[in-house]
A and B are shown apart, each in its own frame.
Chain A
Amino acid sequence: MRYVYDVVVVGAGNGGLSAASKLAQAGLKVIMLEKHNLPGGVATSLVRGRFEFEASLHELCDVGTEEQPLAVRNIFKGLGVDAPMVNEKNLFRAIVTGEDGYDVTLKAGEALFEESLEAACPGSGKSIKKLKDLLAKTREALAYNDRMNGRPNKLVMIFKYSKFLIAASHSVDEVLRSLGFSKKARSVLETYWLYLGVPADELNAFHYFQMLRGYIDSGAGVPEHKSYGLSLGLAESVLKNGGEIRYNTEVDRFLYDDDKRVIGVAAGGDEYYAKQVVSNVIPHNVFNMSERRNTAEKDRKLLNARRFGLSFVCLYVGLDRSAEELGIKDYTVFVAKKDSSRTQYDDDADLGVYVVNCLNVAVPDATPAGTCSMFFSIPVFSDKLMNGVEPENYKQFKSEIAKRYIADYEQVTGIRISDCIEEISVATPVTFARYFGSPNGTAYGYRLSRWDGLMARILSAADEFKIKGLTFCGGHTASGDGFGVSYASGLEAADRVLALLKEEGV
């Protein structure tokens, strides 16, 4: 069959959903094609027995409160999607074992955050003040940049917002050092590096602080109906506004005209033509589905220079005891073997660090009464981890990894869970590869390496992937991974498409 639309959105992940929702809202004839039979991509959930597990979301950044909504809540409000969520009061508990180890809990809210950091790392006061100042300056600079529509006056930037430029061009660790934080305080403050997947001595400081500020301001946002509830809500808004969604529909080819313009996509023999195509699918896969003559040398080289971000092994564990009975008090616990993200990162497949969430702490009735669920996320490098894993020993491989991390958690926290496991499911890079088709099973798109960090990407964005008729959105774009930024990137893609269509007089 041959279909014609204003816009085709390929992939119903976070970015694709928000893009399609906004485009449908704008009254365009939109269709979204998704290879899986559910919307959301990683923003999904899985049911085992009487448990429904959150599949991927730890916490939403930058949500604000119901009364004073910030970015993420505003996105849902703007798209007319009901997205009930709670604000978790603690940022995290970080347990570092071994020499110089610590067990620190940081609280959300500016004053409480400072108080808890000072309590954990006495003498940080002065540095905290400087950090606050830096965060404020960064915010001002961004506001100025927005006012100038992304074309700021260079001199103003240099003289008025030099602090921002510094944060924008140094690593987290460099900036925290320059602010005079102690080794322990730096380590504590850098705990979130995992969410961006690059160690703190390489990770762009501006990028990281943006996220940190988002969490400090309103605490982690936890959706009441799991991230799948948000996905389904967005899908509903697409349908409500007259858009179409086709599930079980895997795009296998991007269609170009002689002018190297994307004019549509093909899926299982059907062709979908459109004035504009939005791809929530990672550029690597789009290039695999495009003929070489239609792609630019520069873009191919960029993709070949890039490395993929982290993947994860996830354990979804349903326990037949409540969180209170087990003594679980924290929503988010980071466990690390050593206190430097760099040594962890260089440690190959086993990064010696993982995050454990207990959803019931934030959303008490997330599982039936008398039970609770735990979600372990273990960041991994797919290549090294999967070395030696064969189809025949895959089941055993999953059991062994689960056993190892559960035992470690028990040992580190003193909380015993292994004898109350009622359900368990294990996801690996193979799972990511299976459901999302992401190359190497990456969960985080492209690695935010020093040379390819947020600032570098933003500054170059205008010159990259200049493919007519095609706009990318999602965690693999300039803004990097993360739920909130992916939703935002979808809206940006939609805005771009709307502007382009306007130019063309549609």
Chain B
Amino acid sequence: MTDKKREGRRGLRLSIGNFLKILPIRKKKIEDAPDSDVRKTGSYKPNELAGIIHPGLQHLIVTQVKDLTEDVKLYRLEADRENGCERLAPFGAGSYLTFEMTVGSGRCSRPYSICSSPKDAEKGFYEIAVRRTPGGVVSNYIHENWKEGTRVTAQEPAGEFLYEPVRDAKHVICLAGGTGITPFRSMVKAVLEGSEDFRIDLIYSARKEKELLFREELDGAAGTDERISVRYVLSDEEKAGYGTGFITKDMVAQAAQDGEPYSVFICGPQKMYRYLDGELKGLDLRKKYVRRELFGEIRDLSDEEDYVRPGADEFTLTVSQNGQRTAIRCRRDESLLCAMERAGIAAPSRCRSGVCGFCHSKLVNGSCYTPAQSDFRREADRLYGYIHPCCAYPLSDLEIDVPAAGKIKI
């Protein structure tokens, strides 16, 4: 109806006659509709996109294994069509994949950053680089067991360690430590291929020159694209052409352009995060300009100032899941999630750093400790006694109610 016509109706007297027409009009409308089956929910565009971007779990198959260094292997993964995975979920550079597997009698999940590019996923593969951690359960399992043709299960890509043009400065100084280079390799590739557009000044530190990953590639990228630069820092070696020691605030300040805002992205071992927290203070950066990748599981609580060590070294953790109660042992220094996994309980998890909320569970009784830097719970969760078991440590015998791990969607 045009505005004019409607204006013409000004002052029109309304009648209750309309009331009597409500039902007949509706009846007619329904009668005229087709009696076909109701359209499938998955066929609407938003639902279709949601299914592709968020498939839940993905069945993948290892198609290539490459030794990068003595203790780091690169794995190429493709969609396992035979198991119903038709295509890989897309991701933003900097995302990680959480792999789920059974090691011995334990159920485990571990996040690994995707080090290939978004366009590689379109072409059909993801890559991850796994460092063998001494004494580590999953990294050693992967190194020993993943061969060409091994079928594996990963969750959909996740994470917040992404470049966001609305938020971040156009110039990003990336600080990588050791295997922490993985998300940055993805970002560098993304810039090269045009998936992202920002300036990357990468400062990459390792103990020794031979431990630097993707060295040629990174140098190549810096040589071909003026938005990218790389410099290396070695902590355990002195060599010409390399910085020595740790990454310092001066190195960051040097990479900064006069007066222009810059973001600092950090990915590396926990020790590096703790060290840089102090080191970067001198630069007086706004929080908005400093982003770091997930902290990961905390193994050593002695670094946490407010942690009061409980009397016992082990506690009874009662887990109720779908109404079934199981009592297991939980060591003082392991997260409730780890204890459950060791006992073979399928508990949901994703980031293992307190952030994603996937492991959200209810503390029924007893008490536990959550380190402040891993406490990303919602306000109401704290009020009502909900915890994130991936970063909750026992202070007494306790009971928690844990949702079942989600079923495979594909």
A residues contacting B by CB (< 8 A) are 37-38, 45, 47-50, 52, 158, 162, 165-166, 168-170, 173-175, 177-178, 180, 201, 225-226, 228-229, 231-233, 236, 244, 246-250, 268-269, 284-285, 287-288, 292, 297-298, 300-305, 311, 320, 340, 342, 382-383, 386-387, 389-392, 394-395, 399, 402-403, 406, 418, 420-424, 428-434, 437, 439-441, 451-452, 455-456, 459-460
- Interchain CB contact under 8 A, B31 and A301: yes
- Interchain CB contact under 8 A, A304 and B36: yes
- Interchain CB contact under 8 A, B92 and A284: no
- Interchain CB contact under 8 A, A229 and B46: no
- Interchain CB contact under 8 A, A50 and B379: no
- Interchain CB contact under 8 A, A285 and B41: yes
Count of inter-chain pairs, beta carbons less than 8 A: 223
Interface: B227 (CB within 8 A): no
Which of A232, A433, A452 is close to B386, meaning CB atoms less than 8 Å apart?
A232
Which of A162, A311, A399 is close to B46, meaning CB atoms less than 8 Å apart?
A311
- Interchain CB contact under 8 A, B50 and A433: yes
- Interchain CB contact under 8 A, A440 and B29: no
Beyond the given A300-B35, A342-B1, A424-B166, could you list 4 further A-B residue pairs with CB under 8 A, ordered by the A residue number?
Answer: A232-B381, A288-B38, A301-B35, A391-B49
Please list 27 pairs of residues, one from A and one from B, whose beta carbons are closer than 8 Å in the complex, sorted by A's number.
Answer: A38-B357, A45-B378, A166-B16, A166-B19, A177-B10, A226-B378, A246-B403, A247-B360, A248-B403, A269-B407, A300-B38, A304-B35, A304-B36, A340-B3, A383-B45, A390-B49, A394-B53, A399-B165, A403-B165, A421-B167, A421-B288, A422-B167, A434-B53, A439-B41, A439-B44, A452-B26, A460-B26
Which of A305, A406, A429, A434 is close to B30, meaning CB atoms less than 8 Å apart?
A305
Residues in A whose Cβ lies below 8 Å from that of B6: 173, 201
Per the 8 Å Cβ criterion, residues 70-90 of B in contact with A are: 89-90
Residues in A whose Cβ lies below 8 Å from that of B136: none
- Interchain CB contact under 8 A, B166 and A451: no
Residue of A nearest to B15 (CB): A166
Which of B44, B166, B357 is close to A403, meaning CB atoms less than 8 Å apart?
B166
Residue of A nearest to B93 (CB): A395
Residues in B whose Cβ lies below 8 Å from that of A301: 30-31, 33-35
**Looking at A180, A201, A303, A430, which has the most chain B CB atoms within 10 Å of its CB?**
A430
- Per the bound structure, the CA–CA distance linking A421 and B15 in Å amounts to 53
Residues in B whose Cβ lies below 8 Å from that of A248: 348, 403-407
Q: How far is the CB of A283 from chain B (nearest CB, A)?
A: 8
Interface: B111 (CB within 8 A): no
Residues in B whose Cβ lies below 8 Å from that of A169: 16, 18-19, 21-22
- Interchain CB contact under 8 A, A250 and B41: no
- Interchain CB contact under 8 A, B38 and A303: yes
Per the 8 Å Cβ criterion, residues 396-410 of B in contact with A are: 403-407
Residues in B whose Cβ lies below 8 Å from that of A305: 29-30, 32-33
- Interchain CB contact under 8 A, B14 and A175: yes
- Interchain CB contact under 8 A, A158 and B16: yes
Interface: B271 (CB within 8 A): no
Per the 8 Å Cβ criterion, residues 367-402 of B in contact with A are: 376-381, 383-384, 386
Which of B15, B18, B25, B49 is close to A430, meaning CB atoms less than 8 Å apart?
B49
Given contacts A394-B53, A452-B26, contact A47 B357 (CB under 8 A): yes
Which of B10, B38, B44, B162 is close to A441, meaning CB atoms less than 8 Å apart?
B44
- Per the bound structure, the CA–CA distance linking A136 and B46 in Å amounts to 43
Residues in A whose Cβ lies below 8 Å from that of B165: 399, 403
Which of B19, B37, B47, B404 is close to A440, meaning CB atoms less than 8 Å apart?
B47
Interface of A is mostly: helix
Q: Which 8 A-B pairs have the closest CB atoms?
A: A441-B46, A305-B33, A422-B288, A169-B18, A429-B46, A229-B380, A247-B403, A434-B50
Residues in A whose Cβ lies below 8 Å from that of B167: 421-424
- Per the bound structure, the CA–CA distance linking A137 and B384 in Å amounts to 43
Q: How far is the CB of A343 from chain B (nearest CB, A)?
A: 8
B residues contacting A by CB (< 8 A) are 1, 3, 6, 9-16, 18-19, 21-23, 25-26, 29-41, 44-47, 49-50, 52-54, 89-90, 92, 118, 122, 160, 162, 164-167, 286-288, 322-323, 348, 355, 357-358, 360, 376-381, 383-384, 386, 403-407
Q: How far is the CB of B47 from chain A (nearest CB, A)?
A: 4
- Interchain CB contact under 8 A, A391 and B14: no
Q: How far is the CB of A95 from chain B (nearest CB, A)?
A: 21
Residues in B whose Cβ lies below 8 Å from that of A175: 14
Q: How far is the CB of B130 from chain A (nearest CB, A)?
A: 26
Residue of A nearest to B37 (CB): A292
Residues in A whose Cβ lies below 8 Å from that of B50: 430-431, 433-434, 441
- Per the bound structure, the CA–CA distance linking A388 and B39 in Å amounts to 21
Q: How far is the CB of A296 from chain B (nearest CB, A)?
A: 10
Q: How far is the CB of A407 from chain B (nearest CB, A)?
A: 10
- Interchain CB contact under 8 A, B41 and A178: no
- Per the bound structure, the CA–CA distance linking A382 and B19 in Å amounts to 32
Residue of B nearest to A34 (CB): B403
- Interchain CB contact under 8 A, B348 and A165: no
- Per the bound structure, the CA–CA distance linking A389 and B54 in Å amounts to 15
Q: How far is the CB of B303 from chain A (nearest CB, A)?
A: 21
Q: How far is the CB of B288 from chain A (nearest CB, A)?
A: 4
Given contacts A423-B167, A460-B26, contact A178 B46 (CB under 8 A): no
Given contacts A38-B357, A386-B49, A421-B166, contact A52 B379 (CB under 8 A): yes
- Per the bound structure, the CA–CA distance linking A399 and B348 in Å amounts to 30
- Interchain CB contact under 8 A, B378 and A47: yes
Residues in B whose Cβ lies below 8 Å from that of A460: 23, 26
Q: How far is the CB of A288 from chain B (nearest CB, A)?
A: 6
Q: How far is the CB of B277 from chain A (nearest CB, A)?
A: 15
- Interchain CB contact under 8 A, A225 and B380: yes
- Interchain CB contact under 8 A, A284 and B38: yes
Q: How far is the CB of A6 from chain B (nearest CB, A)?
A: 16
- Per the bound structure, the CA–CA distance linking A17 and B208 in Å amounts to 57
Residues in B whose Cβ lies below 8 Å from that of A228: 378, 380
- Per the bound structure, the CA–CA distance linking A473 and B261 in Å amounts to 51
Residue of A nearest to B197 (CB): A396
Q: How far is the CB of A198 from chain B (nearest CB, A)?
A: 15
- Per the bound structure, the CA–CA distance linking A455 and B288 in Å amounts to 50
Residues in B whose Cβ lies below 8 Å from that of A225: 379-380, 383
- Per the bound structure, the CA–CA distance linking A173 and B377 in Å amounts to 45
- Per the bound structure, the CA–CA distance linking A285 and B37 in Å amounts to 12
Residues in B whose Cβ lies below 8 Å from that of A456: 22-23, 25-26
Residues in A whose Cβ lies below 8 Å from that of B35: 297, 300-301, 304
